[in-house]
Amino acid sequence: MKQVKIYCPKCQWVPDASARWLCEPSCGCSWNTFETCGVCPRCGRNWEDTQCLACHRWSPHADWYHEFIPDEQQQMPKTELAGATG
């Protein structure tokens, strides 16, 4: 199963639920851009680039999503001894 982690592709900063971005100079709305995939909920502007609140550099919004595959629980193969009768 794939999971997605969201963090800054430049500094690995992880935005939390209280992080806010400003839609400026469009409408000045303040919201969490990762709850709307980079779309301003007020004016509908689609922000293709997202600025990191930690390092203040811009990265494409899609680059913030990092797919990873968690370690699958490996089942130990059963070793059966057969044909030991003699």
Name the minimum Å distance from CB 7 to Zn ion: 8
Looking at 14-22, 46-54, 64-72, 75-83, which segment touches Zn ion (CB under 5 A)? 46-54
Asked if residue 42 binds Zn ion (CB under 5 A), the reply is yes
* 33 contacts Zn ion (rule: CB under 5 A): no
Bridge partners for 58 per DSSP: 51
The answer to whether residue 6 forms part of the interface with Zn ion (CB under 5 A) is no
Q: How far apart are CA 27 and CA 12, in angstroms?
A: 28
Instruction: Give me the half-sphere count of Cα atoms (radius 13 Å) on the Cβ side of residue 73.
Output: 1
